[in-house]
A = this chain, B = another copy of it.
Amino acid sequence: MLELYAVSKIYGNGVVALRDVDLKVNKGEFVFIVGPSGAGKTTLTRLILAEEKPTKGQIIVNNKVVNNLRPSEIPYLRRQIGTVFQDFRLMHNWTVEENVSFAMKVIEAPRRAIRKRVPEVLEMVGLANKAKHLPTQLSGGEQQRVALARAIVNQPYILLADEPTGNLDPETAWGIMRVLQDINAQGTTILMVTHAKNIVDEMRKRVVALEGGRIVRDETRGAYGNEN
Contacts and interface: CB of A to CB of B under 8 A. Distances in A.
Interface of A: 11, 13, 15, 34-39, 41-42, 86-87, 133, 137-142, 145, 162-163, 166-173, 195, 197-198, 224
A38 to B, nearest CB: 5
Contact of A197 (B38, B140, B198, B224): B198
Q: Of A86, A141, A163, which is in contact with the most chain B CB atoms at under 10 Å from its CB?
A: A141
Given A133-B13, A137-B11, A34 B163 contact: no
Nearest to A13: B137
Q: Which 8 A-B pairs have the closest CB atoms?
A: A37-B141, A86-B140, A169-B195, A38-B139, A166-B166, A36-B169, A37-B172, A170-B197
Nearest to A194: B169
Contact of A172 (B36, B41, B169): B36
Nearest to A140: B86
A38 B142 contact: yes
A49 B28 CA distance: 47
Contacts of A170: 195, 197, 224
